[in-house]
Amino acid sequence: MQKRNTAQKKAIFEELRARRDHPSATRLYEDLKERYPNLSKATVYRVLKNAADEGEILRLHVGPEDRFDGDAKDHLHVICTRCGDVHDEALPPMGLEKLEKNYGYAISSRHVELYGVCPACQKAAE
Ligand SMILES: [Zn+2]
Ligand SMILES: [Zn+2]
């Protein structure tokens, strides 16, 4: 039992890290279930939720369902408000040292999201 759970967990992380579309748990489950018929949706939810709580992966609050990112390193997200497309960008320097010095905060994590309309949606609206 334990062994199967570990294998499923590995498959979930491998799939998440192999793609850059920041899928929801439902989406990831749909794409994995053909290859892993024993996998349950509840397992995918639980594995992703626990990993996000531990900071191993990122959780994004976009649209009706949370989305997940296998890359937990610093980067910012540009999010389309129409189709929910999530695009990764490098994080520009933010002067955090100065901020910590001025306000006495010890910054432990940062999460930057920019919202707009993606090129495809702009084109579709023309
Ligand atoms: Zn769009
Ligand atoms: Zn990302």
Please tell me the distance between residue 37's alpha carbon and the centre of ligand 1 in angstroms. Answer: 32
Contact 41, 26 (CB under 8 A): yes
Q: How confident is the model at residue 79 (pLDDT cuts 50, 70, 90)?
A: very high
Of 26-35, 51-60, 100-109, least confident by mean pLDDT is: 100-109
Q: Are residues 65 and 92 in the same domain?
A: no
**Domain end: 69, 92, 115, which one?**
69
Q: Are residues 40 and 6 in the same domain?
A: yes
Q: Are residues 54 and 80 in the same domain?
A: no
CATH of residue 11's domain is 1.10.10.10
Q: Are residues 8 and 48 in the same domain?
A: yes
Give tens-digit pLDDT for 1-17: 456 678 899 999 999 99
Counting ligands in written order, the one closest to the CA of 122 is: 1
- Note down the domain range covering 121: 76-125
Q: Which DSSP string do the residues of the chain spell out, in sequence order?
A: -HHHHHHHHHHHHHHHHH-SS--BHHHHHHHHTTT-TT--HHHHHHHHHHHHHTTSSEEE--TTS-EEES--SS-EEEEETTT--EEEEPPPP--HHHHHHHH---------EEEE--HHHHHHH-
Give tens-digit pLDDT for 44-72: 999 999 999 999 999 998 888 999 999 98
Mean pLDDT of 112-125: 95
**Domain end: 69, 96, 113, which one?**
69
**Domain end: 42, 69, 96, which one?**
69
Q: pLDDT > 90: what percent of the chain?
A: 72
Give the pLDDT score at 121.
97
Contact 24, 36 (CB under 8 A): no
Please tell me the distance between residue 57's alpha carbon and the centre of ligand 2 in angstroms. Answer: 10
Please tell me the distance between residue 45's alpha carbon and the centre of ligand 2 in angstroms. Answer: 19
CATH of residue 105's domain is 3.30.1490.190
Q: Are residues 27 and 52 in the same domain?
A: yes
Give the pLDDT score at 32.
96
Q: Are residues 64 and 81 in the same domain?
A: no
> What's the mean per-residue pLDDT of the chain?
91
Q: Are residues 113 and 90 in the same domain?
A: yes
Q: Which residue in 110, 48, 106, 23 sits closest to 75, CA to CA?
A: 110
User: For the chain, how many structural domains are there in total?
Assistant: 2
Q: Are residues 82 and 62 in the same domain?
A: no
